[in-house]
Structure formats: structure tokens, C-alpha cells
Amino acid sequence: MTADATRVKRPARLRQAGIYAGLVAGAVFAVFPLLWGLSTSFKPEATVLATPVRWIPEHFTFDNYHAVLFDSQIPRNLLNSVIVSIITVAVTLLIAVPAAYSAARYRFRGKGGLLFFILMTSMVPGIAVLVPLYYLAVKLSVYDTFFVMIVIYAAWQVPTIIWILRGFFESIPADIEEAGRVDGTTTFGAFVRLILPLAKPGIGAAAIITFVYVWNDYLIASTFVSDSDLRLISVGLYTYLTQYGTVWGQLTAAVMVTLLPMIIAFVLFERRLVAGLSAGASKG
């Protein structure tokens, strides 16, 4: 035991260094291609492909950002994406949370089959159901609306989100609700006041996963909307992939601009994660 105690100190520092090494390596892998994009976004279009390669632009310019922010639909696309993503997250959680809670807490015959059936619906390749969905949307006159995109996104995300949340609900000890019920709270009340706070990391992860899914999707966004005022950002970026070649400067500037809302979303999520941590600590 005493030998252990002395042994712990040195490795602790070494482990600290190891942790940082791992984190830095991960961060470099993550941002390396983005740094090239950042560098390109500050270059005049004429020099983006110039050799020898320069990571620091020789002629520094904001023209690309100016074009993206003031001469394009990108800000509009961004706003649309934020709106659609947030509503989709809300709808998805509203539908998935009750089902996931039921899956975690109640047993009934055929539950495994039902859960697998739900999961199975998310297994069909998107491209396979695009055409029939398109027909449906047109026949129901919901083509060219945010509504149709939100419904499809939610339907494609609900199954996996149910499965994710079910795991998180299961990890919360059941005696917590029992304790609540002893105090005379209803099942619903116990769920809202006791379980939800503890499930915050899971719900946060589910929310951010859905948000990013909508943010990245091109298939639905490009198929169910043709009105340029309703376009989402993933479609908006295609403006810079033209028949005459890729407009690198403006494309990379637009990508950098689109990263901003996501950084904000990640910071918000990260806070939830910490909240979950402290709540989790108090449960012991």
C-alpha cells in the first residue's frame, strides 16, 4: 500500500502528459484539413491553387467573406438550417423520450420485437425511399416547406434516439422513482423532476446528434425544397461547386462561416454535459 502511494505520484504526472499528448494529437487530426480551408478562405481566388503551396496567404483578403456574407444566400441558408434543426430536435425528443422511457422501465410481451421494428425503419437507405417520399410530399401539398423536411428528419432520427435514450434511462437506478413515489409524486412528476435531470447528458447527446444530422443532411434538403428562400446550408454550399469548377475561396469562407453556429451549439452542449455530471455526483 505504501509502495503504491509513492508509485502513484510519478505516473500521475506522466499520465497527465499522456492525456495532453492524446488530446493534442486528436485536435490536430480534427482541425488539420479545416486549417487548410481557413487559409484558402483568406486567399484571392486567383492564388488558391498557386504553387509553391502557402499555408499563410501571401495576399490576405476578406473578399471571400464579403461575398459570402453580403452577395449570397448563405446567411439565409444558415438561418433556415438553424430553424429546421432546432424544431427537428424538439419534435424528435418529444416523440422519442416517452418511448425510450417506456422501453427502459416497462416490460411487455413483444417489446424486443417492437423496439427492433422501430430501429429497423431507420435501416433503409435514404436513397431508396426518396422517390416515394417525394410523391407523398407532392400529393399532400407539403412539398417546398420546412414541415416536410422536419417530419422526415424526425422520423429518421427517432428510432436511433429511442435506442440511445433507453440506455441512459436504464442506467438511472429505479429506486430514484420509487423514492419519489414514496413522497407522493405521480409517475409523470417523478419522471420530470427526478429522471430528466439525471438523463441530461443522454438527452444532450441525443439533441446534438439530431441537430448535426439535420445540419449535415443533403439528400432531404435538396429533394424536398426547390424554393431558394427555403434552402438549407448544405444545399447552399453547392452554389460554389459550379460547372466551371469549384470556387474555392468563397466555398471555404462559407464553410468557416457555417462552423460558427456549430461551435456555439457545441459549447452549449458541453455545459449540459457538466450539469449532468454534477447532478450525477449528487445521486450517490
Partner 1 sequence: MATNMNRRHLLRLGAFAAIGVTTGGALTACGDGDSGGDGVAELSMWTFLDPAGTDPRGKALKEIVDGFNASQSAAKVTVTSMNYAKIDGEVIRAANTGGGPDIVNIYTPQLAQHVEGGSIQEIDEYANDWLSEAGADYLFPIDSAKVDGKLMALPWESRVWLLWYRKDILDKYKVSAPTTLDEAIAAGAAIRKASGNKITGFAIGLSEQSLGADFMEKFDPFTAGFGGEIIGADGKAAFASAAGEQAMALIKKAADAGAMGREVLTMGADEVVNGVKAGTVAMAIEGSYRVASARSAEGVGDNLVTLPVPSTTAGKNMPTAVAGQTLAMGANTDHPEQVWAFMRYYLSAESQAKFAAAGVLPVLKSVYDSDAIAKAANATELLQWRDYLATDGKVSRFPADYSELSTNLVKAAQNMIFNGAAVPAALSEVQTQYNQKGK
Partner 2 sequence: MTVTAPPPVRAAPPEAPPRPRKGRRRYGPVGLYVPALVLVALVSVIPIAWAVRLSLYRTRGLRTVEFVGWDNFATVLGPDGWGDIARTFAYVVISLVVAVPLGLGLAVLLNKPVRYIRAFRVVILLPWVVSQTVAALLWKWLLNGQYGPLHSLFGGREPLADPIGSMAALILVNVWISYPLATILCLAALQTVPQETVEASRVDGCSPTQSFYRIVVPTIRSTLLILVIMLTLLYFNMVTLVYTLTGGGPFSGTQVLSLDAFLQSFQFFKIGVGAAYSVVLFALNIVFGIAYIRVLRGSSDS
Positions in 86-105 near partner 2 (CB under 8 A) = 94-96, 98-99, 101-102, 104-105
Query: Which residues on adjacent β-strands are paired with residue 245?
Result: 242
**Of residues 24-63, which lie at the interface with partner 1 (CB under 8 A)?**
44-47, 49-51
Least distance from C-beta 262 to partner 1, angstroms?
Answer: 23
Binders in 58-87 for partner 2, by CB under 8 A: none
State how far the Cα of 250 lies from the Cα of 67, in Å rounded to an integer.
Answer: 7
Nearer Cβ to partner 1 (36/238)? 238
The binding track of 15-54 with respect to partner 2, each residue x by CB under 8 A or -, is -x--xx-xx--xx-xxxxxx-xx-----------x-x-x-
- Cβ atoms of 188 and 126 within 8 Å: the answer is no
Q: Which does 12 bind (CB under 5 to 8 A by kind): partner 2, partner 1, none?
A: none
Told to check if 181 binds partner 2 by CB under 8 A, we report yes
- What span, in angstroms and rounded, lies between the C-alpha atoms of 175 and 178? 5
Copy the grid coordinates of residue 209: 446528434
Contact call for residues 119 and 160 (beta carbons, < 8 A) = yes
Query: Which span (14-22, 29-37, 92-100, 223-231) binds partner 1, by CB under 8 A?
Result: 223-231
Dihedral of the alpha carbons of 213, 215, 220, 224, in degrees to the nearest 10: 150
Residue (198 or 251) nearer to partner 1, CB: 251
Among 65, 144, 181, 262, binds partner 1 (CB under 8 A): 144
Decide: is 170 part of the binding site for partner 2 (CB under 8 A): yes
Spatial separation of the C-alpha atoms in residues 68 and 248, rounded to whole Å: 12
Stretch that binds partner 2, among 61-69, 72-80, 263-271 (CB under 8 A): 263-271
Task: Find how far residue 109's CA is from the centre of its chain.
Answer: 34
CB of 110 to partner 1, least distance (A): 23
245 is an interface residue for partner 2 by CB under 8 A: no
Strands 245-246 and 241-242: antiparallel
At 52 the three-state DSSP class reads coil
Whether 83 and 215 have beta carbons less than 8 Å apart is answered as no
Among residues 181, 203, 182, 183, which one has the least CA distance to residue 191? 181
Q: Which of residues 84, 99, 100, 148 is near partner 1 by CB under 8 A?
A: 148
Burial pattern 80-112, b for ≥16 Cβ within 10 A else e, equals: bbbebbbbbbebbbebbbebbbbbbbeeeeeee
How many residues bind to partner 1 according to rule CB under 8 A? 44
**What character string, x for contact with partner 1 (CB under 8 A) and - otherwise, covers 122-141?**
---------xx-xxx-xxxx
Measured CA to CA, the distance from residue 33 to residue 253 in angstroms comes to 14
Binding residues (CB under 8 A) for partner 1: these are 44-47, 49-51, 67, 71-73, 131-132, 134-136, 138-148, 150-151, 222-223, 226-228, 235, 238-239, 241-246, 250
